Amino acid sequence: MPLTPQQQIDAAPMSPAQIIVTLLGVLLFALDGFDVMAISFAAPGIANEWGINRAALGVVLSMELIGMSVGSILIGGLADKYGRRTSIFACLLIMGGGMGLTAMAEDVTTLSLLRFITGIGIGGLLPAVASIVPEFANNKHRAMLVSFAASGFSLGTVLGGMVVTELLQVYSWRSIFVFGAIVTLLSIPLVYFLLPESIAFLCQSHRRNALSQVNQVLVRLRLSPVEALPELPKPKNEKQLNWLNLFKGNNLIATVCLSLMYLGHMMTFYFIVKWTPKIVVDMGYPAAQAGGVLIWVSVGGFLGSLLFGTFTRWISPRNLTLFMLLMSIVSIIAFGNVGNQIDVLSVIAFIAGLFTTSAIAGFYTLMADAFSTDVRAGGTGFVIGVGRTGAAISPIMAGILFAAGSGLSSVAFLMACGSVLAILSVLTLVSKQRSAAAEADLV
């Protein structure tokens, strides 16, 4: 019996075209990482140019996060309906256009609106990329390649930070968004020529020309064309958005557990990302050194994602993710108790970045495995969208705790509890999946 297209991908060695898909994933994650940090680097210049207070600046910073939540949920669902490639194009256009217009903004209201719109593109890009990379990877290397692609986020923050530092020595804050817009728009031709549509999506889409499109992609992957596509159930209501299926049957457990997992860990992750500079400055160090400590968080995150992918060759992604979450808790608590020696703080920040970010890389693997093709991008988008809520809540919660008189050690301990919630959520999901598998075997 001939192999289906997906069975061929699962079993065959990785072709150059598949490796290029992963490299494009790294690039797209890097664009996401750069855009997320761009507004943070621009914030001081914006405040100085327009003379706005911290409250107004806080609104500007939060609008992007709100847009990202909307984009993750909305465009993630559309990627399951219209295709991963189409959604990636749309998100890149939104991001590039939004960043270009941001550079021309003349008031806080316009800037806030543009950051919200740009956030929609950023939020929608992640679930589409996080879905298409595993769908082009074989079984042997899938977890490793998903983790490798996810490392692009930290790479984008590190390299972007280096470029922005040089730009700000000569130009205003607007140059950050001009640079971001140019790089984002230049990536569109690369995606057009080098990124094919997902075979898994095409087989699920029931398009009239799906067979022809699948065979064209198979030839690019150096695999054998097929005479017919596998028989897959057709949706009862094609007009219904696929992400509504996330709340039906076994999908409901996966959606709830993975959403709580992502939300909890984002609260822990964004504590170390958002508060590190302020914590270091309050210890008496200049802002430049505080920024250096934050860079070590990103460097650790990049290395952690690469190491996570490497170790999946010997350890299951689920168990490795649980270990990274456990070490995230330990490293965040250590950060709160290490004292005020800048060298030691940098080392602990590096370690915390390594474990917290590598756990996130593991999340993408868990989501790819938990959701079927018809809801994979929508499920990933919903989980990320809910997780962005944790990202928004985290710095606010830490600020309230600090304002109430809590010390760094106490705040770090409480913020580390977000990763505790993530561990409990993963364990619950695993337990439910095993129960469902046991019931299926009995039937």
What CATH code is carried by the domain that includes residue 302? 1.20.1250.20
- Nearest-CA neighbor of 298 among 119, 151, 398, 129? 151
What total number of domains does the chain contain?
Answer: 2
Q: What is the pLDDT, as a whole number, of residue 239?
A: 45
| Same domain, residue pair 22 and 81 | yes
Q: What is the pLDDT, as a whole number, of residue 1?
A: 63
The interaxial angle of helices 108-135 and 16-50, nearest 10 deg, is 170
Alpha carbons 8 and 442: distance in angstroms, whole number: 30
Q: What is the pLDDT, as a whole number, of residue 259?
A: 92
| Amino acid making up residue 436 | A
Q: Is 12 exposed, middle or buried (0-12, 13-18, 19+ CB in 10 A)?
A: middle
| Same domain, residue pair 416 and 443 | yes
| Same domain, residue pair 249 and 182 | no
112 and 63 Cβ atoms separated by less than 8 Å: yes
The answer as to whether 194 is a domain residue is: yes
| Residue 168, both tokens | 């700000």
Q: Of the residues 229, 253, 282, which one is the last residue of a structural domain?
A: 229
Q: What is the pLDDT, as a whole number, of residue 83?
A: 86
What is this structure's pTM? 0.81
The answer as to whether 236 is a domain residue is: no
| Same domain, residue pair 104 and 245 | no
Q: What is the pLDDT, as a whole number, of residue 232?
A: 63
Residue 301 to residues 156, 223, 297: CA-CA distances in angstroms? Answer: 11, 35, 6
Up-side HSE of residue 66: CA atoms within 13 Å toward CB? 12
> Mean pLDDT per segment of 10 residues, for the chain of length 443 residues?
85 94 94 80 80 71 80 80 90 94 90 91 89 91 88 86 82 91 95 92 83 92 89 55 68 89 92 79 75 82 88 89 96 90 90 93 87 80 84 80 87 94 93 71 55
Q: Of the residues 165, 200, 229, which one is the last residue of a structural domain?
A: 229
| Same domain, residue pair 310 and 201 | no
| Same domain, residue pair 161 and 252 | no
| Same domain, residue pair 248 and 214 | no
Q: Which domain holds residue 71?
A: 1-229
| Same domain, residue pair 289 and 248 | yes
The answer as to whether 378 is a domain residue is: yes
Q: What is the pLDDT, as a whole number, of residue 33?
A: 84
| Same domain, residue pair 202 and 266 | no
| Same domain, residue pair 245 and 300 | yes
388 and 123 Cβ atoms separated by less than 8 Å: yes
| Same domain, residue pair 198 and 54 | yes
The answer as to whether 115 is a domain residue is: yes
3-state helix, strand, coil in the chain (%, to 5): 80, 0, 20
Alpha carbons 184 and 256: distance in angstroms, whole number: 33
| Same domain, residue pair 265 and 222 | no
The answer as to whether 309 is a domain residue is: yes
Q: What is the pLDDT, as a whole number, of residue 100?
A: 94
The answer as to whether 234 is a domain residue is: no
